[in-house]
Amino acid sequence: MTSRLALLLLCLPISGLAESHWPQFRGEGGLGIGTGKPPVEFSAEKNMRWQVEVPHGHSSPCIWGDKIALTGLDGGKLVTFCLNRADGRELWRVAAPAEKIEGAHRIGSPATPTCCTDGERLIAYFGSYGVLAYDWSGKELWKKPLPAPVVEFGTSASPIIADGKVIIVADQDVGSYMIALDVKTGAEAWRVDRGEFRRGFSSPFVWKHDGIEELIVCGSLWVRGYDLKDGRQRWSVRGMARVANASPVAADGMLLVSSWNVGGDEGDRIEMEPFEAFAAANDANKDGLLTLEEFPNGPIKARYSQIDADKDGKVTKTEYEVIRGMFADAVNQLFAIKPGGSGDITDTHVIWQVNKHLPYVSSPIVANGRVFTMKSGGLASAYDAKSGSPLFQAERVDASGDYYASAVSADGRIYITSQRGTVVVLDATSDTLKVLARNDLKASVFASPAIVDGVIYIRTDKHLYAFGE
């Protein structure tokens, strides 16, 4: 009897795991909504299932059944590795055939895009190489080399799988594009030129509404909707910052988009004078080109690498005027879009917008009819999803620092992690700010958590943790 009971108990969690998934950045549908009842309080001493050391990287967990996939940089090689979900034990590891590792921001990582899966194939994307497809035993199925994006901060946008295709958005300072690859073979299904867009780090999103699916891509100044079948552009909405960082979400038939960057707030705008006037005052050798040394100290010089689109060390009139126009047209806001329409639908389909207390990188989340955001410094805001009416704004959660991880939700709670490693747990059912817990992991965190079957998986700079009651 004892042996039979032990066998039954051993089998129960395995069968449960087989039904549970977190298949891409921010989980099923990219919505950040988890399953089960994760713990409110956790630490190395409380509610910790396991912890394992992992290579450095900023990608989030991709979970299918009893396996977890992550990427990292280890010993100078970019690797995709798989862990056993029950205990964190490493099952396999493969290195990408990258000849050169792309540069990244000083606090960034060349292993930032999160893997995605359709259950059969695991897709990894590195800016340093391109796309690689494996089965869940680590066997390579196909690979698609792609040029490294032209941006010194590195690649961040995660791939997704939709309509049998792997979608890659490569917004960069020169030659931006989006590509769809057949998930079974890696063959190119379609490609969209996005040359008018500059650097961007927002992951694509599939908006499901009215019986259809639209591919949503946030970029500099615009958010656009595309047809998944052929990449045809359906509509555009203006009102984005110069650089898109946060990824969109959807709820109650609406698309929610958040965008903020330096120089886009009214009263704090960065203004650039016309090229002719600027060059007349600063082009020392009068060659019609501007070097870094010819820029006077200030906020414009600080963004020289962005102005110098092709990174040749010389800014042309065209390069200068593009950024000048972006600074002039950039809009920082959180806004809601209703479905339908074609062409420029800014004036007809934007339902509401908020332009204060916005997050920089952290994506918004919708739970219980409320949109939650976290601004760096630990300032939480919530809005009614249908009307945009503020429930509370810029209220302190007493967990300071920057917030790069995106929020996730489960069981009526919001989990949002600061770079310093404090996981703030908020009540998602309240119209006022209610902080349920502050869990200090005592380690740096950039990756967004995953929540599956009541277990929350959190990646720090050196470890992956599994917390569950």
> Is residue 314 domain-shared with residue 245, that is, in the same domain?
no
Provide the 10 A C-beta neighbour count for residue 389.
Answer: 10
> 422-437: per-residue pLDDT in tens?
999 999 999 999 999 9
Asked if pLDDT for residue 49 goes beyond 50, the answer is: yes
The answer to whether 131 touches 125, Cβ cutoff 8 Å, is yes
In angstroms, the CA 90 to CA 68 distance is 9
The answer to whether 412 touches 427, Cβ cutoff 8 Å, is yes
What percent of the chain is predicted at pLDDT more than 90? Answer: 93
412 assigned to some structural domain: yes
> Is residue 306 domain-shared with residue 375, that is, in the same domain?
no
> Is residue 387 domain-shared with residue 297, that is, in the same domain?
no
Cα-based angle 402, 405, 411 (whole degrees, multiple of 5) = 120
Name the average pLDDT for the chain.
95
> 181-224: per-residue pLDDT in tens?
999 999 999 999 999 999 999 999 999 999 999 999 999 999 99
> Is residue 358 domain-shared with residue 306, that is, in the same domain?
no
Count Cα neighbours of 240 within 13 Å in the Cβ-side half-sphere: 26
Residue type, 341: G
Asked if pLDDT for residue 170 goes beyond 80, the answer is: yes
- Name the token pair of 60: 């989030």
Asked if pLDDT for residue 4 goes beyond 80, the answer is: no
> Is residue 249 domain-shared with residue 115, that is, in the same domain?
yes
268 assigned to some structural domain: no
Looking at residue 97, its pLDDT comes to 97
Task: Give the mean pLDDT of 60-69.
Answer: 98
Asked if pLDDT for residue 10 goes beyond 60, the answer is: no
> 80-129: per-residue pLDDT in tens?
999 999 999 999 999 999 999 999 999 999 999 999 999 999 999 999 99
> 402-424: per-residue pLDDT in tens?
999 999 999 999 999 999 999 99
> Is residue 249 domain-shared with residue 393, that is, in the same domain?
yes
- Name the token pair of 131: 């796309």
269 assigned to some structural domain: no
> Is residue 284 domain-shared with residue 389, that is, in the same domain?
no
H helix or E strand, kind and range, residue 424:
strand 422-427
The answer to whether 73 touches 109, Cβ cutoff 8 Å, is yes
270 assigned to some structural domain: no
> Is residue 181 domain-shared with residue 302, that is, in the same domain?
no
CATH of the domain at 290: 1.10.238.10
Nearest-10 crossing angle of helices 317-329, 275-282: 120
Looking at residue 11, its pLDDT comes to 43
Tally of structural domains, the chain: 2
In angstroms, the CA 449 to CA 119 distance is 20
> Is residue 93 domain-shared with residue 172, that is, in the same domain?
yes
Asked if pLDDT for residue 18 goes beyond 70, the answer is: no
**111 closest CA partner among 155, 149, 174, 150:** 155
**Domain boundary, last residue among 311, 328, 345:** 328
Asked if pLDDT for residue 13 goes beyond 80, the answer is: no
> 274-296: per-residue pLDDT in tens?
999 999 999 999 999 999 999 99
Residue 20 — very low, low, confident or very high, per pLDDT cuts 50/70/90?
Answer: confident
In angstroms, the CA 256 to CA 344 distance is 17
Count Cα neighbours of 158 within 13 Å in the Cβ-side half-sphere: 30
Q: Give how far the C-alpha of residue 59 lies from the chain's centroid of Cα atoms, to the nearest Å.
A: 9
The answer to whether 99 touches 152, Cβ cutoff 8 Å, is no
Backbone angles phi, psi at 45, to 5 degrees: -105, -10
- Name the token pair of 223: 């958010």
- Name the token pair of 380: 């939480």
Task: Give the mean pLDDT of 339-367.
Answer: 97
> Is residue 28 domain-shared with residue 56, that is, in the same domain?
yes
H helices then E strands: how many in the chain?
5, 34
Task: Give the mean pLDDT of 6-31.
Answer: 68
Looking at residue 17, its pLDDT comes to 46
49 assigned to some structural domain: yes
Looking at residue 267, its pLDDT comes to 81
Residue 268 — very low, low, confident or very high, per pLDDT cuts 50/70/90?
Answer: confident
In angstroms, the CA 424 to CA 58 distance is 19
Q: Give how far the C-alpha of residue 221 lies from the chain's centroid of Cα atoms, to the nearest Å.
A: 17
CATH of the domain at 455: 2.130.10.10
The domain in which residue 313 lies consists of: 275-328
Global confidence as pTM: 0.94
Secondary structure (3-state) at 300: coil
> Is residue 159 domain-shared with residue 295, that is, in the same domain?
no
Q: How far is CA 331 from CA 76, 265, 300, 321, in A?
A: 39, 7, 18, 18
